[in-house]
Structure 1
Amino acid sequence: MLDHLREAMGRYAAPPHLLTTGADGRPHATATTVVWDGDTLVLEAGRRSLANLAHSPRVALLWSPSVPGEYSLVIDAELAAPLDADRATVSLAVTRGVLHRPATPAGPRNPACGSDCVPLYG
């Protein structure tokens, strides 16, 4: 099923944003580059993202649509390997993936989320 996510990721020209949460509960978003290594997502993370991951190993990756009204791609993931203090490379195991956009009155609505969602994984 990860093939659906690989295919969806290839349709977005802009890089995703990595969303993490700090120990104080504040969210942090930063643009990143993501590649597949088998069934694991690999990315480079900065100082704040690494500190947040040390506190909370769950993250989201968000690809925004290039055209208003199209789907965003949201992937939830968690650390797949312990953080290495000497490297900024992070390996993530995907837990969920969905195409998401706000529902319109005339459009489809997914009862599970209340929006126009297309589950891809998880």
Structure 2
Amino acid sequence: MLFYIARCYRYERPQAGRYREFSQLGFEYLCPDPELAVKRSQEIVIGFFDSLGLGYEIDGSARRGLSYYLNGRGFEMRCTELGAQQQVVGGGAYREGAGFGIGAERLLLAMAAQGLV
């Protein structure tokens, strides 16, 4: 297992809750069984959100644009209070395991929208 924090950049036009520069909290679970890795990744991120008291929706069949996810499939967690930019977590399986990224700024916006900060 690997946890990390990274500064990331995107080329798209900035929008509300979608910044050109952002911080990502990441997790990688390396194992030869992608299904087990996805299950464990989802358990960890759900436990993290539950510990914060954050309400969310999970979509376990999200189609991710990143080609390294197996068959383009992944998962997302959303906080509907954020409107159009409601995805807070994106992840999925790849050959070596699975992982996810949490947008730190968007997580903070979701917590504020739900009255947690």
Whether these two folds match at TM > 0.5 is no
Shorter chain as denominator, the TM-score bin is under 0.3
By relative contact order (CA 8 Å, sep 6+), the higher-ranking structure is 2
Instruction: Kindly name which structure, 1 or 2, has the bigger radius of gyration based on alpha carbons.
Output: 1
**Higher helix fraction: Structure 1 or Structure 2?**
2
TM-score (norm 1): 0.26
TM-score (norm 2): 0.27
